[in-house]
Amino acid sequence: MVNHIVLWNFKEELNVQEKREAAERIRMELEAVKEQVSGVVSLKVVTDPLDSSNKEIGLISVFENEEALQNYQVHPAHVAAGVYIRTVTEERTCLDYEE
């Protein structure tokens, strides 16, 4: 299994309501990709981190193997979601690892 974790902060210029709306759109778009790409074991977008966090939104996903992760990354629905995500987030952090 391959774990893929991505964390972001929202752009500073977004107000609280804009962040909520952006988080919901990110959640909907990324979680929809799960049903469209084979090899996705699980995929969840975390939109309500604890106050102790230093990132505001996260993607926690598991893939059957690296090939499935690569297919996810180039899938048109994921690419489209990424275009939007880059307009509302900054400070992207990613960790991929195999178990």
Convert the chain into a string of H (helix), E (strand) and C (coil). CEEEEEEEEECCCCCHHHHHHHHHHHHHHHHHHCCCCCCEEEEEEECCCCCCCCCCEEEEEEECCHHHHHHHHHCHHHHHHHHHHHHHEEEEEEEEEEC
Q: Tell me, what's the pLDDT at 79?
A: 96
pLDDT (tens digit, 9 = 90+) per residue, 12-68?
999 999 999 999 999 999 999 999 999 999 999 999 999 999 999 999 999 999 999
Q: Dig out the tokens for 24 from the structure.
A: 């919901």
Which class for 9: exposed (0-12), middle (13-18), buried (19 or more C-beta within 10 A)?
A: middle
**pTM of the entire predicted model:** 0.92
Hey, which residues does 58 pair with through a beta bridge? 7, 46
